[in-house]
Amino acid sequence: MKKSIQLQRQKVKLISIQNYKMSEIKTFSFNSSGVEQMRDYKYGSDWPIVYLIENGKELYVGETIRAYGRTKQHLDNEARKNLNKIHIISDDESNKSATLDTEEEVHQVVVLEEVLLEQLHLSQQLILIN
């Protein structure tokens, strides 16, 4: 019981830190046309971002300074074929260090959620894929 309480407190702290660092989330379809739309997005190239590619059941989290190019690489990856949305997280004051921190915090929140769901014996889980 004590372990669950600590995890819940840590989750709240991580979410508030993440929201402080990056303030804009933009969603695109994870397909060729969505990637082309990303090219014209203000954070689509030459800017540090965190991205989440998902389908409601599986999730891939990453960071890059080349959103457009990196997303094109992911489209060619067989492990990502089931995913259908990509969310870009960034803002005008973002930097590489902040994106690395935010990426790690997103991973921690997802893992904490999985642990809590497992402890509660719930079957609806978001699977973090590599």
- Report in angstroms the alpha-carbon separations of 7 from 30, 102, 111, 117: 32, 18, 10, 12
Cα 2 from Cα 13, distance rounded (Å): 17
What is the C-alpha separation between 122 and 101, in angstroms, rounded? 29
pLDDT over 80 at 91, yes or no: yes
CB 30 within 8 A of CB 86: yes
Can you give the residue ranges of every domain in the chain? 2-128
User: pTM of the full predicted structure?
Assistant: 0.73
What digits encode the pLDDT tens for the residues 11-67? 434 344 444 444 788 999 999 999 999 999 999 989 999 999 999 888 899 999 999
